[in-house]
Chain A
Amino acid sequence: MQGKVKFFNYIMIMIIIIIIVAKRGLMVITDLNNGDCFKIKYVTLPGEIGKRLADMGFSKNVEGKVIRSALFGDPMQIKIMGYNISIRKSEAKGVTVELI
């Protein structure tokens, strides 16, 4: 009986941890706050804009930081590979990252 409860608790805790980790792992840039550092997982944007971002260095495992956003929260200033770039929220939504 005791063992079963313990096992159940253990499973619950594991599920919660997995959810937290998965949630942390599946963020897009717009979910981040100013000053957050991130590591890029992948870019899911079709056609020109996806290629443009990839060309500018939005590439797997590249680290970056959210610096600030303009008056109405859009566009955003991102620091990546040591330089600053501005992208619109609509495009930042397509960049999946991991918080670091």
Chain B
Amino acid sequence: MRQIKVGLAGNPNSGKTTIFNSLTGMNQKVGNYAGVTVEKKEGRKNYKGYDFLIYDLPGTYSLTAYSIDEVIARDFILDEKPDIIIDVIDSTNIERNLYLLLQFQELNIPIIGALNITDQAESMGIKIDDKQLSKILDMPMIKTVGAREKGINDLLDEAIAMFESKKKSVKIPSYGYEIEDEINKITELLASDHEFSSIFPPRWIAIKLLEKDQSAYKKIKKHADYEVVNNTALQCIKRIEIHYGYDAEIIISEQRYGYIHGAVTETVKYENSKITDTEKLDAFLLNRFLGLPVFLFFLWGIFQLTFAIGAYPQGWLETFFGWLGNISTQFIPAGMLQSLVVDGIIGGLGGVLSFVPLIVILFMFISILEDSGYMARAAFIMDKFLHIFGLHGQSFLPLMVGFGCSVPAIMASRSLKNPRDRIITILVTPFMNCGAKLPVHILLAGTFFASNAGNMVLLIYVTGVALALLSSLLFKNTILKGESTPFVMELPPYRMPTGAGILQHISEKTALYLKKAGAILLPASVLIWVVISFPKPFEDPAKYQKIGADYKIVLEEKYSTKTVTPGNDKVTGDVEAGINIDEEASKYAENLKKEDELAYSAAGRLGRIIEPAIRPLGFDWKIGVATITGFAAKESVVSTLGILYKTGGEEGEESRTLRNALQNDKTFNPLVAFVLMLFTLILAPCFAAQAAIKAEIGWRWLGFYVLYSIAVSWTLCFAVYQTGKFFGLGV
């Protein structure tokens, strides 16, 4: 079977993905291009005895060296030497789409044009004479409708015919006498080095040099006469700019569009120009005053639905893993192994999978927004505000989702095409107070600011947003300096998203999460288990039996005296409610044992080691331990505090016993509680979020982020605690 290697190229929004899906069906693989987060998709198709290997190139408008997508697309052609390029063209927008096609022609490779979305073009009154266009451009043009799989076999047939005949287009766009003269000079020079010109098409490199393409200037360093070529190119640019009066790279673009305009005037007829549905919708959705409220409403709806619907499958998963834990407890003898399996592995696995429902639901909404064309509008609406802080209009969605959970939020930042914007957005997203941190805030605010609890929690949220915006301002002006990304963004026509497209989007994101984040999260949760379980103190059951017995006596005395003198106080109430003194005593002893174990464990020791560092924030080693377990999951902070304050680990944030215990503890006061809330907000997020950051932007940025968040949280908490103490606030 003969293999045909096909590169699928095209503008963003040209329906390239629907063509790719129609060509390959479910037979595709998704990966990443080395070192960048640009998705690499490839698929296979067997057709008439040929094995088609189809690469989905990133959607681009041009082939400059400015954007990573464009560099990937052109390097693919230069390095991988595909047999054929299929360029998908949006027929409703043919002039701009042909611009990319011309640049592929210059690369001197066999190319087929797929005139896609012809159904919509026809309904808009755009008539394309494909035969004539194909004659003018000297290359095959096939009419397709990707969403309805029309013209797909024609494309494959044409590819086979082209592959067998080895016919290449000889027609290349002309840039007019003056520029052609300069192109020829450089091309001749380049062609003199045969080795060089066999790798890089000389005419293409010549044009790129005139366009001041940095990567082309790097490529010619391999040329035998590098100096001569370089100087000639610079002289040519100068001559062109003197002749035309402005920048050579812009003149070249204009010449291409001039050539296209000629071809389009001959072959495309625009009949009626009635108001399109897109224009009608935009009049409402992009309305100067209505646009923002409508967008906020959509966001609010997505946020609510994701976490409301997601709660059900999350509950089922919780029940399932609880059941699995019980089963394992029954089958594995009590001891180390049981604890490892139940608390470490099953707990960790449950942790990994509990995010899946959120990711699935959120990405369903995101892909509807993206595929319908609304996402670009949302960026349009939000850009002004976010741009002040160095963010991009599209950063808004990840930040908003961050209020629910940082993991899907960090993954959602993939919609941002520019690496700089994406890095800034990912780095500030965890400052948005996530849902798992909320129990900690509710516990502390409810305990120490009873009448103002709501306001204190709100203050935490506001602080988080302020930190996110200020941090991005800081990053923009320091480590991620550089020219801000031009915000030149197409507002594509609204299109109905397809079910297959959405499903594919969801499955890709979920697989990516499980593969990348899950691989880190599971070992991390086992590690946390090890840290809080080891080393074990020497088993001394007698000690705790004695403590239990002593406590029983204390309880008996307390209750017997109280019952003799009944009053309205609480303790009597508890006795009347019927308290089991035996049970209370054994629970007390059990909790003490847990506390001793935790204190003896590596986490406890670590808590004591870091105590001097957190002392200036008003924290003791117990809070240190809670912070360490908080890395596994922020909810753990509450249960760890539960263990350490002798109320058992099963307490939730509403527990009255835990609240009483905290209130009676000498370390805690309202000021410390507030500082701890701040600390929980700012300090590095849970391992799941860290794994997501690593998966998106790599270890280096994750390391930077963790250090940054430690520095910010410590500094801010130190300032708040010391100021509060100085003025005697809340102590």
Does B298 interact with chain A (Cβ within 8 Å)?
Answer: no
- Alpha-carbon distance between A51 and B492 when the two chains are bound, in angstroms: 21
CB distance from A17 to the nearest CB of B (A): 25
Q: A44-B246, A50-B247 are in contact. Are A77 and B491 (CB under 8 A)?
A: yes
Contact A55 B62 (CB under 8 A): yes
Contact A50 B490 (CB under 8 A): no
Does B254 interact with chain A (Cβ within 8 Å)?
Answer: yes
Interface residues of A in 35-66 (CB under 8 A from B): 42-44, 46-57, 59-60, 62
Contact A86 B491 (CB under 8 A): yes
The residue that A81 contacts in the complex, of B93, B249, B253, B385, with Cβ under 8 A, is B93
CB distance from A97 to the nearest CB of B (A): 15
CB distance from A87 to the nearest CB of B (A): 5
Q: A75-B383, A75-B384 are in contact. Are A68 and B488 (CB under 8 A)?
A: no
Q: A55-B253, A56-B96, A59-B254 are in contact. Are A70 and B61 (CB under 8 A)?
A: no
Contact B250 A43 (CB under 8 A): yes
Contact B491 A49 (CB under 8 A): no
- Alpha-carbon distance between A54 and B254 when the two chains are bound, in angstroms: 7
Q: Mark A66-100, 1 if CB is under 8 A from B, else 0.
A: 01111110110100011111111001000000000
- Alpha-carbon distance between A51 and B258 when the two chains are bound, in angstroms: 16
CB distance from A85 to the nearest CB of B (A): 6
- Alpha-carbon distance between A46 and B387 when the two chains are bound, in angstroms: 20
| CB neighbours of A81 from chain B (8 A) | 93, 95-96
The residue that B257 contacts in the complex, of A50, A62, A77, A87, with Cβ under 8 A, is A62
Q: A55-B253, A57-B257, A68-B286 are in contact. Are A82 and B93 (CB under 8 A)?
A: yes
Question: What number of B residues sit within 8 Å (CB to CB) of A?
Answer: 43
| CB neighbours of A77 from chain B (8 A) | 282, 286, 380, 491
> Across the two chains, which residue of chain A brings its CB closest to B253?
A54
| CB neighbours of A86 from chain B (8 A) | 376, 379-380, 383, 487-491
Does B218 interact with chain A (Cβ within 8 Å)?
Answer: no
Q: A52-B66, A55-B62, A85-B490 are in contact. Are A71 and B96 (CB under 8 A)?
A: no
Interface residues of B in 265-290 (CB under 8 A from A): 270, 278, 282, 286, 288-289
| CB neighbours of A52 from chain B (8 A) | 62, 64, 66, 486, 488
CB distance from B167 to the nearest CB of A (A): 29
Question: What number of A residues sit within 8 Å (CB to CB) of B?
Answer: 36
> Across the two chains, which residue of chain B brings its CB closest to A88?
B487
Contact B66 A70 (CB under 8 A): no
| CB neighbours of A83 from chain B (8 A) | 92-93, 96, 490-493
Contact A88 B387 (CB under 8 A): yes
Contact B487 A91 (CB under 8 A): yes
Contact B488 A87 (CB under 8 A): yes
- Alpha-carbon distance between A42 and B64 when the two chains are bound, in angstroms: 20
- Alpha-carbon distance between A83 and B536 when the two chains are bound, in angstroms: 69
Does B292 interact with chain A (Cβ within 8 Å)?
Answer: yes
- Alpha-carbon distance between A91 and B488 when the two chains are bound, in angstroms: 9
Interface residues of B in 43-65 (CB under 8 A from A): 61-62, 64
Contact A49 B486 (CB under 8 A): yes
Q: A54-B250, A54-B253, A57-B96 are in contact. Are A69 and B486 (CB under 8 A)?
A: no
Interface residues of B in 88-114 (CB under 8 A from A): 92-93, 95-96, 99
> Across the two chains, which residue of chain B brings its CB closest to A40?
B254
| CB neighbours of A53 from chain B (8 A) | 486, 488
The residue that B66 contacts in the complex, of A44, A51, A72, A91, with Cβ under 8 A, is A51
**Which of A51, A77, A91 is most buried by chain B, counting CB atoms within 10 A of its CB?**
A51
- Alpha-carbon distance between A62 and B247 when the two chains are bound, in angstroms: 18
> Across the two chains, which residue of chain A brings its CB closest to B249?
A51
Contact A57 B488 (CB under 8 A): no
- Alpha-carbon distance between A60 and B254 when the two chains are bound, in angstroms: 6
Contact A49 B488 (CB under 8 A): yes
- Alpha-carbon distance between A67 and B289 when the two chains are bound, in angstroms: 15
The residue that A51 contacts in the complex, of B95, B96, B250, B383, with Cβ under 8 A, is B250
CB distance from A55 to the nearest CB of B (A): 4
Contact A85 B383 (CB under 8 A): no
Contact B489 A85 (CB under 8 A): yes
Contact B489 A71 (CB under 8 A): no
Does B483 interact with chain A (Cβ within 8 Å)?
Answer: yes
Contact A55 B61 (CB under 8 A): yes
- Alpha-carbon distance between A75 and B291 when the two chains are bound, in angstroms: 13
| CB neighbours of A54 from chain B (8 A) | 249-250, 253-254
Does B432 interact with chain A (Cβ within 8 Å)?
Answer: no
**Which of A74, A82, A86 is most buried by chain B, counting CB atoms within 10 A of its CB?**
A86
> Across the two chains, which residue of chain B brings its CB closest to A84?
B491
CB distance from B669 to the nearest CB of A (A): 45
